[in-house]
Amino acid sequence: MTTAIGTDRAEVRQELATTTYDLLVIGGGILGTSVTWMAAQAGLRVAMVDAGDFAGATSSASSKLVHGGLRYLQTGNVKLVAENHRERRALAADIAPHLVKPLTFLVPIYKGGPHGAAKLGAGVFLYSALSVFGDGMGKVITPQQALAKVPALRTEGLRAAAVYGDHQMNDSRVAVMTVRAAVDAGATVLNHAEVVGLRKTSGSVTGAELRDRLDGAEFGVTARLVLNATGPWVDHLRRMENPDAAPSIRLSKGAHLVLRRHEPWKAALTTPIDKYRVSFAIPWEDHLLLGTTDEPYEGDPGAVSPTDADLTQILDEAGHSVRDEQLRREDITYAFAGLRVLPGGPGQVTAAKRETVLSRGSGGMLSVAGGKWTTYRHIGKYVLDILAHLPGRPLGDDLADILPAVPLPGLASPDAVAMRLWTDRDPGTRMDPLVARHLATHYGSIAFELAKLIREDAALGERIHPDGPDIWAQAVYARDHEWAATVDDVVRRRTTLTVRGLDTQDVRTRIAALLG
């Protein structure tokens, strides 16, 4: 089978080494990927490299939400909530309806809890008003109505529950599709390529020296402007430019865990822990996602991982509203942690503003950090606008206008895709409806390309692990079209094997053989 344009590593390295780019983006997380996509849409020659996998670090450690941010109302940031809602609706309606889906949330109100029913009722009403009631009207329901939506809800002392609407996604799939959109628009990208030094011309940063982490090959990239979008590593790269660069950020660690679910949930829970923090319990990938923590982190960003204390805290906080039998440690299938990049400065990390930090170094390299999934396109446009108007105009004067709503590849109704996948075969050879639904909601219309692989080789229609919906066609497609180069790329970020706890030694060995 042919490899997709832009996924053959040797060809891409050759292209990177021999082209002069307008913009080199270092870091392929949410922020770097979005800027790369926007820059390519604006007609720039842009390259993006990442030392690991695309969106493989902090960007894959999110709560998987595309949300307005109910808790921002509490700090009085109505404008931010309205902005978030606009972007959330655009993603769900025009950009990625195949990857972003609506989800009902309940805020349980307990006797003696931090917020009363009147306050929360008013809060969810304002929240839904700011989304122009696009997800229905925020309201307060009875304990019985809440229990019908969340069967594992703790009912002792439950007075009522406030209801509001938001959205969720599989962030790794959104990331891969955004990289693909950037390449479709003309960008050159390479993962597992580490920056080992910066290129300088008479004091100005004009590119980077790289090493391919898979085979050790070394090469360089030349660019008129370099953007450092390395997230938690942003200051490490700033010190490559200038050894005396002062720290610009602080890090806060957030951990989550995934549990087997004993019965279906029709809604997610947002449980207030105190006046400011909430605990999420979210139905996700047929499991339950719990989180998150928020504490200062000083260590090596590459070594961040959930500790036993994190798991205890998450389970204890979820226990405010979820019954004990749904919170057994033996039901944990996966736990993960990531780092929020916050502006440097004094004060608690929990109170620090979740905003984008920008700085320009002595060699002209622009460093940018911070951001969130919900507004990732907006942040990409914002950063590109700053790059376009830098003194001396390194990107030139005539950037094309970006179209307001370019969809991600695969745009389609997941229901329609699932239906066609299921009915397109003879009754005896029909795709399992669960597999069809899984492909439709993770690939959109690109699922038809996977169906074609199965028609050519029936074995690719088999499940990778009998207990999950991921099939072998996904692993082959990830290798040939989605830059998957390591076993983790496949099991953790191109499929749902790891989150479901199904990446057994046997599965990993077979995928390693497939990757060759």
Dist. CA 330–CA 259, nearest whole Å: 9
In a domain, 75, yes or no: no
Do 325 and 427 fall within a single domain? Answer: no
On whether both 178 and 158 belong to a single domain, the answer is no
Give the domain-ending residue among 343, 360, 388. 343
> What is the rounded distance in angstroms from the CA atom of residue 375 to the CA atom of residue 356?
11
Same domain, 193 and 332: no
Percent of the chain past pLDDT 70, that is, above it, reads 93
Instruction: List the domain range (segments joined by +) for residue 216.
Output: 9-58+173-248+349-398
Nearest residue to 51 via CA among 302, 405, 279, 336: 302
CATH number at residue 135: 3.30.9.10
Residues 124-150 have a mean pLDDT of 79
pLDDT above 70 (res 458): yes
Residue 29 located in a structural domain? yes
Nearest to 166 by CA among 243, 72, 229: 72
Q: Using CA atoms, how far apart are residues 445 and 283, in angstroms rounded to an integer?
A: 24
Compute the distance between CA of residue 223 and CA of residue 25 in angstroms, rounded to an integer.
10
Question: How many other C-beta atoms are found inside a 10 Å radius of the C-beta of residue 336?
Answer: 20
Pair 445, 98: CB distance under 8 Å: yes
pLDDT of residue 352: 45
Tell whether 494 and 421 lie within a shared domain.
yes
Does residue 300 share a domain with residue 197?
no
Is 408 domain-assigned? no
- Give yes or no: residues 510 and 440 share one domain: yes
Please check whether residue 489 lies inside any domain of the structure.
Answer: yes
**Which CATH number covers residue 54?**
3.50.50.60
| Residue 165 exposed, middle or buried by CB count within 10 Å (0-12, 13-18, 19+) | buried
Beta bridge partners, 109, equal 160
Q: Which of 343, 364, 386 lies at the terminal end of a domain, its last residue? A: 343
What are the tens digits of pLDDT across the range 223-280?
Answer: 999 999 999 999 999 999 999 999 989 999 999 999 999 999 999 999 988 877 889 9
Is residue 318 included in any domain, yes or no? yes
Same domain? For 420 and 500 the reply is: yes
- Looking at per-residue confidence, does 204 or 428 come out higher? 204
Of 69-73, 292-296, 434-438, the range with the highest mean pLDDT is 434-438
Residues 342 and 335: beta-carbon distance below 8 Å? no
Q: Is the domain of 198 the same as that of 329?
A: no
**Residue 159, φ and ψ in degrees, nearest 5:** -90, -40
In a domain, 3, yes or no: no
**How confident is the model over 297-313, as a mean pLDDT?**
95
Band (pLDDT 50/70/90 cuts) for residue 54 is very high
CA-CA distance, 34 to 31, in Å (whole number)?
5
In a domain, 493, yes or no: yes
Q: Say yes or no: 338 and 204 in one domain.
A: no
Asked if residue 68 belongs to a domain, the reply is: no
Give the pLDDT confidence of 471-492 residue by residue, as tens digits. Answer: 999 999 999 999 999 999 999 9
**3 state SS of 257:** strand
- Average pLDDT value over all residues in the chain: 91
pLDDT in tens, 6-37: 668 999 999 999 999 999 999 999 999 999 99
- Are 53 and 148 found together in one domain? no
Quote the radius of gyration of the chain (alpha carbons, Å). Answer: 23
> What pLDDT, on a 0 to 100 scale, did the predictor assign at position 345?
61
* Number of folded domains that form the chain: 3
The DSSP string of 166-179 is: EEEE-HHHHHHHHH
Q: What is the pLDDT of residue 126?
A: 74
